[in-house]
Chains A and B, each alone.
Chain A
Amino acid sequence: MATRAARLSAEPAAGQAATVRGLTRSFGDRRVLGGIDLDIARGEFVALLGRSGSGKSTLLRVLAGLDREARGEIGVDAAVAVSFQEPRLVPWKRVLANVALGLRGHDPVGRARAALAEVGLTKHLNAWPLTLSGGEAQRVSLARALVREPALLLLDEPFGALDALTRISMHRLVLDLWERHRPGILLVTHDVDEALLLADRVLVLDEGRIAHESAVPLARPRHRDHHDLVALRAGLLRRLGVDPEETA
């Protein structure tokens, strides 16, 4: 993007979808991000945990190129796509037109249709966004991001507003799409289980820094009562300031 005034380097290091060094962001006197170092490899699935207000969305907006006030070395692949916490569909465009919006190159509408088929929404191509259920709208948002064939896909609590059952099928869908297209993914979430079920690596953001990092070297699909996950969960919960005994 042309508007990255704060960036010292706009390209990530080789083999990476994003490389960030010493990223800081303050709102007035409040320093929300105080020196973030972060690498996301191509094809790597990274989850970002953190308490509410810890700066997760702020970090994601910087990576998406939506924040011009951030300082630091920020390299992000040009092919970056975002799905926000709310689906943010354009309400006066039908589902298909939403996915095709701004899409360049060969046969945008055909590609948009294929992306919607991938998320299982062939039946709703002509629906108005306001008539969709929350889960359907979120899937459209996902299709709109994926159809751009991103090298880095940023997901800001995309399942936050969904019921437990829809969440489970969305987890499957995201894993499925990730395995097929292999973008680097940064998934912002406050759900430890979600992070552990999906990601290769789980980061914890605290006090403006990446305070903790856990690799999750387990094959997918994963089961939440797998004993390695149970141990990881306890560790992460403690990092987040929750006593694992209380939630068990």
Chain B
Amino acid sequence: MASTELDLPAASRAAPVRWRLPGTGWRLVSPLALLALWQLASSTGLLPERLLAAPSAVAATALDLVSSGTLPEALAVSLGRVAAGFSVGAVAGVGLALVAGLSRAGEYAVDPPMQMLRALPLFGLIPLFILWFGIGETPKVTLLALGVAFPLYLNTFAGIRGVDAKLAEVAEVLRLSRGELIRHVVLPGALPQVLVGLRQSLGVGWLVLIVAEQVNADSGLGYMINDAREFLRTDVIVVGLLVYCALGLVTDWLVRLLERRALAWRRGLLG
């Protein structure tokens, strides 16, 4: 009995030493292996460049595109579109949700049409938008604004209506004015849900951007990708896709950061 107890720790100590790698390190192993496999397949000609460029070619092209100014220029145009579409959509979505959420009359006026419009397939509107707005920036920005507005509207509205009625009673016994009730109780109470909406709307926003830029554009990331297709430049296409990826990740990270700051009061609970 005593001897096995002495032996055990030594045996179990040996095992983890052999495989010591931090958790994140482990998670990198299989992606790196896939990347190596991809490179190998390209180098041996198994994966023709016409279908997919090698990782090394993609990296070289990325550097080229940056130093030639093509990528920064395209990126600036696309970011400009998103910024314009997002601002318009966010203001409209949150604004309408405030109108609908804060009064019954506002709800009756705003919510039914919003619920109906929400059922429209966003991308199905593209032909109509081209007829209405031509093929310039307006249809793209409008499509983006619509895509962004709905998740924000729905979540903000639900957030406002979901505020704990018991806290509204507290506001009443503390004699808060209506303005104070909205400022101190309703809006902060709705904020977690608004941030969920923000995250969703950014996701939709990037998707709309990609689609809108594919349909017709003479500048921007989508144009860069489309143009590359004509010349079978799969390396440029992959670079474009990676940039879209990075943009999505960056905005998601920004929202997380915002959440961490704005919802600090929940941290006590969530650890």
Whether A and B are associated in the same complex: the answer reads yes
Would you call B265 and A102 a contact (CB within 8 A)? Answer: no
CB within 8 Å for A92 and B265 given contacts A101-B184, A102-B180: yes
Report the Cα distance A13→B166, complex, angstroms: 30
Q: Mark A81-102, 1 if CB is under 8 A from B, else 0.
A: 1101010101111100000011
Select one of A86, A91, A101 contacting B265, CB under 8 A: A91
B63 interface hit (Cβ, 8 Å): no
Interface of B is mostly: helix
Closest Cβ of chain B to A190, distance in Å, is 20
Closest Cβ of chain A to B258, distance in Å, is 15
Would you call A130 and B266 a contact (CB within 8 A)? Answer: yes
Would you call A90 and B185 a contact (CB within 8 A)? Answer: yes
Would you call A130 and B269 a contact (CB within 8 A)? Answer: yes
User: Which stretch of B7-15, B23-31, B170-178, B243-251 is in the interface?
Assistant: B170-178
- The listed residue with most A CB atoms (<10 A of its CB), out of B174, B184, B267, is B174
Which chain B residues lie closer than 8 Å to A148 at the CB level? 174
Would you call B169 and A66 a contact (CB within 8 A)? Answer: yes
Would you call A101 and B173 a contact (CB within 8 A)? Answer: no
Of residues 120 through 149 on chain A, the ones whose CB sits less than 8 Å from some CB of chain B are 127-131, 144, 148
Which chain B residues lie closer than 8 Å to A34 at the CB level? none
Which chain A residues lie closer than 8 Å to B175 at the CB level? 1, 102
Total chain A interface residues with beta-carbon distance under 8 A: 24
Report the Cα distance A81→B174, complex, angstroms: 7
CB within 8 Å for A101 and B264 given contacts A88-B167, A93-B184, A130-B269: no
Select one of A66, A94, A127 contacting B172, CB under 8 A: A66
Would you call A66 and B265 a contact (CB within 8 A)? Answer: no
Closest Cβ of chain A to B87, distance in Å, is 26
A64 interface hit (Cβ, 8 Å): yes
Report the Cα distance A241→B185, complex, angstroms: 42
Closest-by-CB residue of A relative to B266 is: A130
Report the Cα distance A45→B39, complex, angstroms: 83
Report the Cα distance A1→B191, complex, angstroms: 30
B203 interface hit (Cβ, 8 Å): no
A235 interface hit (Cβ, 8 Å): no
Report the Cα distance A84→B174, complex, angstroms: 12
Q: Mark B228-271, 1 if CB is under 8 A from A, else 0.
A: 00000000000000000000000000000000000011111100
A interface residues with partner B (beta carbon < 8 Å): 1, 64-66, 80-82, 84, 86, 88, 90-94, 101-102, 127-131, 144, 148
For the complex of A and B, 7 pairs with smallest distance between CB atoms: A131-B268, A102-B174, A130-B268, A92-B188, A92-B265, A102-B176, A128-B265
